Amino acid sequence: MKLDEKHFDELENNLNGRPNLAVKPENDLFLRACKKLPVERTPVWIMRQAGRYLPEYRAVREKTDFITMCHTPELASLVTIQPVDIINVDAAIIFSDILVIPEAMGMKFEMLESRGPVFQRPIRNEDDAGTLNEIDPIKDLKFVLDAVSLTKKALNGRVPLIGFSGSPWTLLTYMVEGKGSKNFSHIKRLIYNNPSLAHKVLDKLAKAVADYLSAKIEAGVDAVQIFDTWGGILTQNDFEEFSLYYISKVISQIKRKTEPVIVFSKGVHYKLDRLANTGADVIGLDWTMELGEVKKNIGNKVALQGNLDPTMLYAGKEKIREEVKRILSSFGEGSGHIFNLGHGILPDVDPENAKAMVQFVKEESKIFHCKDVNAQNL
Amino acid sequence: MKLDEKHFDELENNLNGRPNLAVKPENDLFLRACKKLPVERTPVWIMRQAGRYLPEYRAVREKTDFITMCHTPELASLVTIQPVDIINVDAAIIFSDILVIPEAMGMKFEMLESRGPVFQRPIRNEDDAGTLNEIDPIKDLKFVLDAVSLTKKALNGRVPLIGFSGSPWTLLTYMVEGKGSKNFSHIKRLIYNNPSLAHKVLDKLAKAVADYLSAKIEAGVDAVQIFDTWGGILTQNDFEEFSLYYISKVISQIKRKTEPVIVFSKGVHYKLDRLANTGADVIGLDWTMELGEVKKNIGNKVALQGNLDPTMLYAGKEKIREEVKRILSSFGEGSGHIFNLGHGILPDVDPENAKAMVQFVKEESKIFHCKDVNAQNL
């Protein structure tokens, strides 16, 4: 689907004429919280905040398809900035898809509205794996890097910009299953019956992910998040062997200065101490975890991100405020908490509720940072 | 679909002529382990062991439909006994479906091969909930109780028979969602926006579940399991309020003598101490948990059941044996462990692998019970 020229002109107008002056974002609460530095209030952003729940996103999406949006820097940039303007979050996250890496390796996929991504030829054996190309993100994923540059320019230092990737394990799971799965039969067959092939591809993916995130940082993102969406389907030993090991490898190979790394392993309620030792600055938690308990265990090593139940945004505003307060007080006093949902925002959520949640975090979190503010004023 | 008469004659021949002499099963390892009494080896059974992975089950299923199987005591009994004969498990579990309770309350459902159960009219508001009947299991679920009596007779005391129910929360989730769900939007909307309606229906369900399990015990089952399949989709507070509270209520109201109660809350990695205080004798664990760690925390109060990854049965036999050994040694010495999968067996598993797993548990678990045996010989 082609976009009309007028639309592109609007985009250009939108993106040009804003010089990229600020090196340090005006609002750097998110970055300070990642490093557990004093903040005046808890920063907040929303996983999948550039998404279908926003009418403004759907208006762009109506004129094109999902994959074209990912491939077109102007469009990716446009929808990346929407939630900063509309929902007032403290960080932007570049609009993209975790499957751009397998795609760049040569795996074509379709995005079906009802079923999610479907690969034409999933990886099931050595022959399939042999077709995967090594990638050079600067060449093969230039469209993402261009989107980063454009977005940095358009953001003009208002808030930090986050880049992201799937974890090697999560990418492998998609590549092997080929589509959404309930029981993960194919990937489990692979790791139980041919673990060496799994490790071979994971190794290749770890390099690709590290290179990709390094290139994003080079292009201007201020932080990166690794989505380990399928870490939680594994036994504890298998998580260590097939997911955690490669997350550590990626983190150790990312070229970065002070840019924080966030790891979100959904459903991984165990081995949090091991996750905290991967070199990550922040650990993301789903809504089944208690922030206060996790803080006790690993809060001395890392900051924590999360963890409102995404379906809580179906509730009335007072209930949302109450739950925001509960989560803030579960974490308690001090820096090192980035408020977020415990998983991506759902497409049928009322944007007003997302906006209210952000506002509640801003209002209700100040009292937990009185000491931080005093520390800054010293 | 009607079954031919010859088939029913075969069933009758199969079930008759075996007097129900034994009060205590010949093989009572399972019951002893539930009570943490000494055993010579670890007992083993498999969740959903009477199921599609068995060609013998499929042969019965081909002649009728799933709901008719549940409603026909002779058929339910026939497939209940199959895994005892074929897989050599240490306990039978009566073939049925957790949705017989909502069905008896007046909610019609279809079982679609591809999508699972689909209710014609899910519960979304007071009016829908108003249509739910109070049930008398002895009248309304007589077919299950008849299946229990028939099966006890046919088992002839070889192994104990387990009865089961969904937890009130899990039943409510199915009744409100109406079909399989990814995000559980409807049930979450209900508990966040109209918690009093949720509690009203949960109360009704708790009574129905307690009456139903009491009737099953009266009909002859030796133990009962409560499946809290959807406990793990909740935040910790909501789990306490909407699931755990009603599980405790059910357990306190079940009429039983020594029959143990097993609770399996899938995905509930938190509040295990609270689960252990519900009055349950056994807590079932999914494959993301470490038996040894859980034993340290609640092993003084309850026995533990689980927790091989169901997809491990896709592996080769040596890998299965290795993993069986790992789980047995994670629990370690002494009674109080019932081996099982961490969730139901998958339909495309090779029955030979299920059989091998059971055999491996029998062979490899003896060394963990030397002291038990000595205790018995004293």
Are the Cβ atoms of A193 and B314 closer than 8 angstroms? yes
The label of the residue with tokens 């059989």 reads B355
Closest-CA distance, A313 to chain B, in angstroms, reads 9
One domain for residues B269 and B332: no
- Domain membership of residue A164 (yes or no) is yes
**Does residue A290 sit at the B interface (CB-CB below 8 Å)?**
yes
Average pLDDT over residues B335-362: 98
Catalytic center residues of A = 48, 52, 61, 97, 174
Asked whether residue B34 falls in the same domain as residue B80, the answer is no
Give yes or no for B341 touching A (CB within 8 A): no
* CB contact at 8 A, A217 and A254: yes
In terms of domains, do B152 and B211 share one? yes
pLDDT profile of chain A (378 residues), mean per 10: 48 47 77 97 98 97 95 98 98 97 96 86 95 96 98 97 98 95 94 98 98 98 98 97 98 98 97 97 98 98 98 98 98 97 97 98 97 68
- Going along chain B, which residue ranges are E strands? 92-93, 109-112, 116-119, 161-166, 223-228, 261-265, 282-284, 303-308, 337-341
Domain count of the fold of chain B: 2
Tell me which chain B residue has its CA closest to the CA of residue A349.
B185
Same domain, yes or no: B150 and B33: no
> In the prediction, which pLDDT does A347 show?
96
Do B330 and B262 share a domain, yes or no?
Answer: no
Q: Which residue has the higher pLDDT, B7 or A48?
A: A48
**Interface size, chain A vs chain B, as Cβ–Cβ contacts under 8 Å:** 82
- Tokens describing residue B266: 């899938």
Whether the CB-CB separation of B197 and B128 falls below 8 Å is answered with no
Task: State the pLDDT confidence band at B13, using cuts at 50, 70 and 90.
Answer: low
Residues B110 and B139 reside in one and the same domain: yes
| Nearest Cα to Cα of residue B117 among B57, B180, B183, B173 | B180
What confidence score (pLDDT) does residue B169 get?
98
Contact status of A160 with chain B (Cβ, < 8 Å): no
| Nearest CA among A64, A85, A53, A117 for reference residue A354 | A53
Contact A319 B193 (CB under 8 A): yes
**Which of A193, A238, A314 is opposite residue B185, by nearest beta carbon?**
A314
Could you tell me the CATH number of the domain that includes residue A105? Answer: 3.20.20.210
- Residue ranges in chain A assigned as alpha helix (H): 5-15, 29-34, 55-62, 66-71, 73-86, 100-104, 126-130, 137-140, 142-155, 168-177, 185-193, 195-219, 236-238, 245-253, 272-276, 291-298, 317-331, 351-364, 370-377
Which tokens in the block code for residue B143?
């077919």
- A129: nearest Cα among A241, A204, A181: A204
Contact criterion met (CB < 8 Å) for B192 and A326: no
Does B315 lie at the interface with A, CB-CB under 8 angstroms? yes
> Which residues of chain B are within 8 Å of residue A188 when distances are taken between CB atoms?
309, 311-312, 314
B66 and B161 both lie in a single domain: yes
Instruction: Classify residue B224 as left (phi > 0), alpha (psi -120 to 50) or beta.
Output: beta
> Both B167 and B37 in a single domain?
no
B163-197 exposure pattern, b = at least 16 Cβ within 10 A, e = fewer:
bbbbbbbbbbbbbbbbeebebbbbbbebbbeeeeb
Task: Tell if the CB–CB gap between B189 and A314 is shorter than 8 Å.
Answer: yes
Using an 8 Å CB-CB cutoff, list chain B residues near A289: 270
Report pLDDT for B373.
72
Contact A347, B227 (CB under 8 A): no
- Of B249, B284, B319, the residue that ends a domain is B284
Q: How far is A57 from chain B (nearest CA, A)?
A: 21
Residue A18 lies inside a defined structural domain of this protein = no
> Is B11 part of a structural domain of the chain?
no
Q: What per-residue confidence (pLDDT) applies to B2? A: 44
Mark yes or no for CB contact A192/B319 under 8 Å.
yes
B38 vs chain A: nearest CA distance in angstroms?
A: 29
Q: Are A98 and A117 in contact (CB under 8 A)?
A: no
Closest CA of chain B from A242, distance in Å: 14
pLDDT digits 0-9 by tens, B49-105: 999 999 999 999 999 999 999 999 999 999 999 999 999 999 999 999 999 999 999
For residue B112, pLDDT over 70 is answered with yes
Q: CA nearest B343 in A: which residue?
A: A183
Residue B1 has a pLDDT of 37
Judgement on whether residues B64 and B171 belong to the same structural domain of the protein: yes
Measured between CA atoms, the residue of chain B closest to residue A312 is: B192
B365 touches B30 (CB < 8 A): no
> Are B35 and B115 contained in the same domain?
no
Rounded Cα–Cα distance for residues A119 and A176 (Å): 9
Looking at residue B111, its pLDDT comes to 87
Nearest to B247 by CA among B259, B265, B233: B265
Out of A188, A270, A287, the one facing B235 most closely (by C-beta) is: A287
Q: Is there a contact between B311 and A236 if contact means CB atoms under 8 Å apart?
A: no
Q: Across the strands, what pairs with B263?
A: B226, B283
A13-41: burial string, b at 16+ Cβ within 10 Å, e else: eebeeeeeeeeebebbbbbbbbebbbbbb
Residues B185 and B107 in one domain: yes
Mean pLDDT of chain B: 93
Assess whether B187 and B113 both reside in one domain. Answer: yes
Domain hosting residue B249, numbered range = 50-86+94-284
Amino acid residing at A201: V
Whether B196 and chain A come into contact, CB under 8 Å, resolves to no
Decide: pTM greater than 0.90. Answer: yes
Residue A112 confidence (pLDDT): 85
Residue among B188, B269, B316 whose CB faces A311 most closely: B188
- Best residue in B192, B233, B287, B357 to probe A by mutation, most A CBs within 10 Å? B192
